[in-house]
């Protein structure tokens, strides 16, 4: 009898506890989960989007970090347990997720007009509105070095990044094929405009890997965007590729002596997508409309050096939020930074990412 | 039975006489009653094992079955373009499919383009094609976007106008193959092979061969780890089994303490020890063995993986060895010596053979654990210290090619079973002794 009572007690207790958690989950239903890339970038979004949004709507926001890719979205959607409401993704991932039906289609006509009255469809830069995604920023992968470590002759071109004879020391690169192959070809003398034509041929891929081979033993691989400024600061690497905004914020926000080299930069878009079956779809739509409005995009640009996706935001972009630095010239899209630049070709990467990453892994392990 | 005894009429036992069969209290023959009772007891025993059986079914048999199934069954093709999937099977593989088949394909694509259902979208078909024909993903998505606008023939010409890759026969032979639900393609990919345009199996290009080399590497690394564990564990176990109990218990705790410590903690401790700014390098620099600039890279490579895994798996070798050595009476060795055997000869002929069951158990345990190890190589493996399980995880978590992940997992399972079979032949599983 005693055992039976104990069993009953346990079952009852568990049921009560379970009910309580379920009730609590209900109570928190109005909390929006916004997923982005962490570090200085997420911080800029919290300042420019989250805080004013919470103030205006009263909807709480839970911010989560990830390192890109659509694996987690796919896992959540297929398991029917979608815990992310809105996610900041790269263009090639947005296209693939949309093709596979993992994210909600978006109608661009619901987006608010620009502050100057231009309809959204004309206000957004060309190619920044997608059938399932809305871009917020233009960002770029560049390379950077520490000016206290490299004095005298400084690197100015992508070829210099690969020149370990003149500048001996470790190099930081993002672990994966994307962007590294572009960099390798540019360093090998391929003009920026022809990079993807060359890369589309087997010889071009061989050429890129051969160039990467020349620095393979000196590479420290990074995965999260917050790592490269840290690697530079710790002296673990002499030069590293990085997202331009992370380096800028380390310089402007923390006074780090880093210099950005814009030659050969590969720029790309970040876009908001809403996973299919998101629990707070309505709130996510509200957040999407709110955060991609002219003022919010311009405000974000004062916290990190990523270019707003709306034309009407450009004139509103001013100085860094706590220092006297003009943000305009820090943007990947500033004319002087675009002299030898590549726009990431989303179709090429949607097509070839699997195969090239496989080869990249084989190359890395060999 | 006690109830039955209570209900029994008082005179019951007195009635028994002559050749009448023995009966129980309720009048049934005792033999039958006994069978009934044993049956009931067996049933109860079975019921008691049911939770375990269910657990094994749900947590072990079902997932492995699902994995085997997924590695062979991939219905993406027939889900996305069902009518075409049937029509294309009539094609003999010569030239290009008929105009009629291509028409069905275009119609199916236009229909699939409107689908938002997971597993039935154009993107799913494009991804599936891209697994076997890398770089052809956009061919499908691009064509699907325009498929609805192709309303009249000639359909082939219309496809050629969209992209001239539709003129390649290999696109159609691949489509014919991937619209069948059962496929060996993932096993081919997992063994670095693929289909060519005619459907024959060929080796993958040398630069893209990755799985077979990694599988071999996993096997020899596991063998090496097992050998190192054995070399270290044998003397330690011998010492433990021969020392007085008071001291050996103390030493045993030194073996068990790390055994009870979290795997992550122990791996992280090795990172702290071996990294370039770590304890070992600092000591070397301090002693002047190496200079500050020439610090040795000891972790985030294969060497680091082996060091950390040997340490983590060592107790699995020590414990069975110890338990077997503990049972060997020291008098055997003394007897051998007293009859004139040299120390080495007595050890080889008398002591060592008696420890074989422990060695067998230890090596089997360590090898099988090592071959599927994931966390330690993932944390300290760097680039060249990754093992097959890390690649499987990569396909499940990053590239999302679950079928390929499942095929690799199945191959790993088969490899383990083959080794187990070999082991059984050589040592005999009955000889195992875990303690």
The string of pLDDT tens digits covering residues A42-71 is 999 999 999 999 999 999 999 999 988 888
- Give domain status of residue A324, yes or no: no
The pLDDT value recorded for residue B433 is: 66
Per the structure, the complete domain to which residue A62 belongs is given by 10-138+271-316
The answer to whether A145 touches A229, Cβ cutoff 8 Å, is no
Cross-chain residue pair A101–B400, CB shorter than 8 Å: no
Cross-chain residue pair B207–A105, CB shorter than 8 Å: no
| Torsion on CA atoms B63, B64, B69, B75, rounded to nearest 10 | 40
What CATH fold (topology level) applies to the domain B211-431?
A: MetI-like fold (1.10.3720)
- Judgement on whether residues A48 and A63 belong to the same structural domain of the protein: yes
- Give domain status of residue A2, yes or no: no
- Judgement on whether residues A145 and A125 belong to the same structural domain of the protein: no
CB neighbours of residue B432 within 10 Å: 19
Q: How many domains does chain A have?
A: 2
**Residue of chain B whose alpha carbon sits nearest to that of A206:** B207
CB neighbours of residue B396 within 10 Å: 18
The answer to whether B216 touches B353, Cβ cutoff 8 Å, is no
- Give domain status of residue A68, yes or no: yes
CB neighbours of residue A337 within 10 Å: 21
Least CB–CB distance from B210: residue in A99, A352, A361:
A361
The verdict on A69 touching B (C-beta cutoff 8 Å) is yes
Domain ranges in chain B are 2-9+20-62, 76-183, 211-431
The pLDDT value recorded for residue A24 is: 47
Integer Cα distance of A138 and A140 in angstroms:
7
Integer Cα distance of A140 and A270 in angstroms:
10
User: Which of these, A125, A142, A173, lies nearest to A337 by C-alpha position?
Assistant: A142
The pLDDT value recorded for residue B8 is: 46
CA-based nearest distance B401→chain A, Å: 9
The verdict on A106 touching B (C-beta cutoff 8 Å) is no
Integer Cα distance of B46 and A299 in angstroms:
69
In a mutational test of the A interface, the residue from B133, B139, B400 whose CB has the highest number of chain A CBs within 10 Å is B400
Integer Cα distance of A20 and A24 in angstroms:
6
The pLDDT value recorded for residue A6 is: 54
CA-based nearest distance B123→chain A, Å: 4
Cross-chain residue pair A100–B398, CB shorter than 8 Å: no
Cross-chain residue pair A351–B135, CB shorter than 8 Å: yes
- Helices B99-114 and B155-162 pack at an angle, to 10 degrees, of 60
The verdict on B115 touching A (C-beta cutoff 8 Å) is yes
Integer Cα distance of A116 and B125 in angstroms:
43
Beta strand spans in A68-227 (E): 86-90, 129-130, 133-146, 171-174, 219-222
- Judgement on whether residues A190 and A113 belong to the same structural domain of the protein: no
pLDDT digits (tens, 9 = 90+) for A321-348: 877 888 988 999 888 898 899 999 988 9
The pLDDT value recorded for residue B354 is: 92
Cross-chain residue pair A96–B208, CB shorter than 8 Å: no
CA-based nearest distance A330→chain B, Å: 33
Integer Cα distance of A93 and B406 in angstroms:
24
Residues in chain B within 8 Å Cβ distance of A354: 130-131, 134, 399, 401
Integer Cα distance of A53 and A33 in angstroms:
13
Q: Is A63 exposed, middle or buried (0-12, 13-18, 19+ CB in 10 A)?
A: middle
Distances (CA, A) of A142 to A195, A228, B117: 16, 11, 39
Peptide bond into B225 cis (omega under 30): no
Strand, coil or helix: B173: helix
The answer to whether B186 touches B207, Cβ cutoff 8 Å, is no
- Judgement on whether residues A258 and A305 belong to the same structural domain of the protein: no
Residue located via tokens 């002559």: B18
Residues in chain B within 8 Å Cβ distance of A100: 118, 121, 123-124, 127
Cross-chain residue pair A101–B117, CB shorter than 8 Å: yes
Residue partners of B219: CB distance under 8 A and separation at least 6: B371, B415
Cross-chain residue pair A350–B399, CB shorter than 8 Å: no
Residues in chain B within 8 Å Cβ distance of A102: 118
| Torsion on CA atoms A174, A178, A184, A190, rounded to nearest 10 | -150
Q: Which of B:387-416 have CB within 8 Å of A?
A: 391, 394, 397-401
Residues in chain A within 8 Å Cβ distance of B126: 99
- Strand A307-308 and strand A133-146: the pairing is antiparallel
Beta strand spans in chain A (E): 31-36, 60-65, 86-90, 129-130, 133-146, 171-174, 219-222, 239-243, 258-273, 307-308, 342-343
Q: Among A134-148, A298-312, B376-390, whose mean pLDDT is lowest?
A: B376-390
| Per-residue tokens: B345 | 């000869």
Cross-chain residue pair A359–B134, CB shorter than 8 Å: no
- Judgement on whether residues A345 and A207 belong to the same structural domain of the protein: yes
- Give domain status of residue A88, yes or no: yes
- Judgement on whether residues A133 and A150 belong to the same structural domain of the protein: no
- Give domain status of residue A329, yes or no: no
Cross-chain residue pair B135–A350, CB shorter than 8 Å: no
| Per-residue tokens: A127 | 């190619």
Integer Cα distance of B362 and B234 in angstroms:
10
- Judgement on whether residues A339 and A243 belong to the same structural domain of the protein: yes
- Judgement on whether residues A211 and A304 belong to the same structural domain of the protein: no
Cross-chain residue pair A100–B124, CB shorter than 8 Å: yes
CB neighbours of residue B287 within 10 Å: 8
Residues in chain A within 8 Å Cβ distance of B294: none
The verdict on A354 touching B (C-beta cutoff 8 Å) is yes
**Please, what's the b/e burial string for A183-213 (b: 16 or more CB within 10 A of its CB; e: otherwise)?**
bbbbbbebebeebbebbeeeebbebbbebbe
φ/ψ (deg, to 5) at A342: -120, 135
| Per-residue tokens: A42 | 């997420």
- Judgement on whether residues A229 and A339 belong to the same structural domain of the protein: yes
Integer Cα distance of B222 and B257 in angstroms:
24
Cross-chain residue pair B383–A364, CB shorter than 8 Å: yes
For Cα atoms A62, A68, A73, give the angle at the middle one, nearest 5 degrees. Answer: 65
Residues in chain A within 8 Å Cβ distance of B397: 71
Sign of torsion, CA A121 A124 A129 A134?
negative
- Helices B352-371 and B402-426 pack at an angle, to 10 degrees, of 170
Quick one: DSSP state of residue B374? -
- CA within 13 Å, CB half, B105: 26
In a mutational test of the A interface, the residue from B115, B127, B141 whose CB has the highest number of chain A CBs within 10 Å is B141
The pLDDT value recorded for residue B126 is: 93
| Per-residue tokens: B156 | 């082939």
- Give domain status of residue A206, yes or no: yes
φ/ψ (deg, to 5) at B27: 95, -10
The verdict on B127 touching A (C-beta cutoff 8 Å) is yes
The pLDDT value recorded for residue B392 is: 93
Q: Which of A:208-247 have CB within 8 Å of B?
A: 209, 221
The pLDDT value recorded for residue A366 is: 73
* Whole-structure pTM value: 0.81
Integer Cα distance of B321 and B232 in angstroms:
12
Strand, coil or helix: A73: helix
pLDDT tens for chain B, 435 residues long, are 444 444 444 444 445 555 677 787 888 888 888 999 999 999 999 999 999 999 999 999 999 999 999 999 999 999 999 999 999 999 998 889 999 999 999 999 999 988 888 888 999 999 999 999 988 988 998 899 888 888 887 999 999 999 999 999 999 999 999 999 999 999 999 999 999 888 899 998 888 888 999 999 999 999 999 999 999 999 999 999 999 989 999 999 999 998 899 988 999 899 889 988 889 999 999 999 988 878 888 888 899 999 999 999 999 999 999 999 999 998 999 999 999 999 899 999 999 999 998 999 999 999 999 999 999 998 888 878 889 999 999 888 888 888 999 999 999 999 999 998 988 888 776 766 665
The verdict on B121 touching A (C-beta cutoff 8 Å) is yes
In a mutational test of the B interface, the residue from A79, A203, A361 whose CB has the highest number of chain B CBs within 10 Å is A361
User: Which of these, A227, A239, A252, A228, lies nearest to A146 by C-alpha position?
Assistant: A239
- Give domain status of residue A59, yes or no: yes
Computed on alpha carbons and rounded to an integer, the radius of gyration of chain B in Å comes to 33
Distances (CA, A) of B327 to B63, B234, B431: 40, 15, 15
Cross-chain residue pair B134–A357, CB shorter than 8 Å: no
- Judgement on whether residues A176 and A83 belong to the same structural domain of the protein: no
**Residue of chain A whose alpha carbon sits nearest to that of B212:** A362
The answer to whether B365 touches B392, Cβ cutoff 8 Å, is no
Least CB–CB distance from A101: residue in B123, B141, B397:
B123
The pLDDT value recorded for residue B400 is: 83
- Judgement on whether residues A125 and A151 belong to the same structural domain of the protein: no
Cross-chain residue pair B118–A276, CB shorter than 8 Å: yes
The answer to whether B228 touches B306, Cβ cutoff 8 Å, is yes
| Per-residue tokens: B61 | 């048999």
φ/ψ (deg, to 5) at A157: -125, 165
Cross-chain residue pair A358–B124, CB shorter than 8 Å: no
Cross-chain residue pair A352–B135, CB shorter than 8 Å: yes
- Judgement on whether residues A146 and A213 belong to the same structural domain of the protein: yes
CA-based nearest distance A187→chain B, Å: 22
- Give domain status of residue A306, yes or no: yes
- Helices B402-426 and B62-72 pack at an angle, to 10 degrees, of 120
pLDDT digits (tens, 9 = 90+) for A185-195: 999 999 999 99
The pLDDT value recorded for residue A12 is: 54
Residues in chain A within 8 Å Cβ distance of B136: 351
The verdict on A281 touching B (C-beta cutoff 8 Å) is no
pLDDT digits (tens, 9 = 90+) for A145-185: 999 999 889 999 999 999 999 999 999 999 999 999 999 99
CA-based nearest distance A72→chain B, Å: 8
| CATH assignment of the domain containing A44 | 3.40.190.10
Beta strand spans in A183-331 (E): 219-222, 239-243, 258-273, 307-308
Residues in chain A within 8 Å Cβ distance of B399: 71, 354, 357
């Amino acid at each position: 009898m005693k055992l039976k009572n104990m069993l009953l007690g346990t079952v009852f207790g568990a049921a009560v506890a379970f009910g309580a958690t379920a009730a609590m989950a209900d109570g928190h239903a109005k909390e929006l989960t916004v997923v982005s890339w962490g570090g200085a970038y997420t911080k800029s979004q919290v300042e420019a989007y989250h805080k004013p949004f919470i103030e205006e709507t009263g909807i709480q926001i839970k911010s989560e970090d990830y390192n890109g890719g659509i694996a987690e979205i796919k896992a959540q959607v297929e398991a029917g347990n979608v815990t992310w409401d809105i996610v900041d993704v790269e263009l090639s991932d947005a296209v693939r997720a949309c093709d596979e039906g993992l994210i909600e289609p978006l109608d661009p006509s619901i987006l608010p007009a620009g502050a100057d009255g231009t309809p959204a469809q004309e206000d957004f830069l060309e190619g920044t509105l997608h059938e399932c995604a809305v871009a917020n920023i233009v960002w770029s992968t560049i390379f950077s070095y520490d000016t206290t470590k490299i004095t005298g002759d400084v690197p100015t071109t992508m070829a210099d990044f690969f020149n370990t004879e003149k500048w001996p020391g470790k190099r930081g690169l993002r672990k994966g094929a994307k962007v590294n192959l572009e960099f390798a070809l540019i360093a090998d003398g391929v003009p920026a405009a022809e990079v993807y034509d060359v890369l589309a041929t087997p010889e071009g891929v061989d050429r890129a890997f051969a160039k990467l081979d020349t620095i393979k033993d000196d590479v420290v691989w990074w995965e999260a965007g917050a790592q490269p400024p840290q690697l530079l600061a710790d002296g673990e690497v002499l030069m590293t590729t990085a997202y331009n905004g992370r380096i800028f914020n380390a310089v402007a926000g923390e006074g780090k002596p880093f210099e950005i080299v814009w030659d050969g930069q590969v720029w790309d878009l970040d876009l908001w997508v809403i996973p299919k079956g998101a629990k707070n779809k309505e709130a996510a739509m509200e957040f999407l409309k709110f955060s991609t409005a002219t003022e919010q995009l311009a405000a974000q640009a004062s916290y990190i050096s990523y270019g707003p996706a709306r034309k009407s935001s450009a004139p509103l972009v001013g100085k860094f939020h706590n220092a006297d630095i003009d943000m305009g010239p820090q943007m990947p899209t500033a004319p002087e930074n675009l002299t030898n630049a590549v726009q990431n070709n989303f179709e090429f990467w949607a097509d070839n990412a699997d195969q090239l990453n496989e080869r990249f892994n084989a190359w890395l392990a060999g | 039975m006690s109830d039955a005894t209570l209900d029994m009429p008082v005179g019951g036992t007195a009635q028994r006489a002559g050749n009448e069969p023995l009966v129980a209290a309720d009048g049934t023959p005792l033999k039958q009653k006994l069978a009934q009772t044993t049956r009931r007891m067996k049933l109860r025993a079975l019921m008691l094992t049911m939770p375990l059986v269910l657990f094994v079914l749900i947590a072990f048999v079902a997932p492995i079955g699902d994995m085997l199934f997924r590695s062979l069954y991939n219905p993406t093709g027939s889900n996305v373009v069902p009518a075409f999937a049937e029509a294309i099977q009539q094609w003999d593989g010569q030239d290009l499919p008929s105009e009629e088949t291509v028409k069905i394909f275009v119609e199916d694509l236009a229909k699939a383009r409107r689908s938002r259902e997971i597993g039935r979208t154009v993107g799913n078909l494009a991804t599936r094609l891209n697994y076997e024909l890398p770089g052809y993903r956009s061919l499908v998505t691009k064509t699907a976007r325009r498929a609805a606008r192709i309303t009249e023939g000639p359909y082939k010409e219309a496809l050629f106008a969209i992209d001239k890759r539709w003129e390649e026969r290999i696109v159609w032979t691949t489509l014919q193959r991937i619209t069948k639900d059962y496929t060996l393609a993932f096993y081919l990919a997992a063994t670095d092979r693929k289909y060519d345009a005619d459907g024959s199996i060929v080796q993958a290009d040398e630069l893209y061969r990755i799985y077979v080399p990694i599988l071999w590497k996993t096997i020899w690394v596991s063998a090496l780890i097992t050998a190192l564990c054995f070399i270290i564990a044998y003397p330690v176990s011998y010492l433990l089994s021969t020392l007085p109990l008071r001291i050996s218990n103390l030493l045993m705790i030194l073996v068990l303490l790390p055994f009870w410590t979290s795997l992550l903690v122990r791996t992280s401790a090795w990172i702290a020890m071996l990294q370039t700014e770590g304890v070992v390098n600092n000591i070397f620099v301090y002693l002047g063995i190496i200079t500050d600039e020439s610090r040795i890279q000891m972790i985030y490579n294969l060497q680091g993986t082996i060091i950390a895994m040997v340490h983590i798996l060592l107790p699995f070798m020590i414990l069975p060895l110890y338990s077997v050595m503990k049972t060997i009476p020291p008098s055997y060795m003394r007897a051998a010596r007293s009859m004139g055997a040299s120390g080495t000869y007595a050890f080889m002929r008398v002591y060592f053979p008696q420890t074989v069951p422990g060695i067998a158990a230890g090596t089997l345990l360590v090898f099988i654990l090592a071959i599927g190890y994931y966390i330690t190589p993932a944390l300290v493996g760097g680039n060249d210290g990754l093992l097959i399980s890390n690649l499987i995880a990569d396909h499940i978590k990053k590239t999302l090619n679950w079928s390929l992940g499942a095929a690799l997992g199945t191959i790993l399972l088969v490899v383990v079973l083959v080794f187990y079979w070999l082991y059984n032949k050589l040592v005999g599983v009955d000889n195992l002794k875990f303690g």
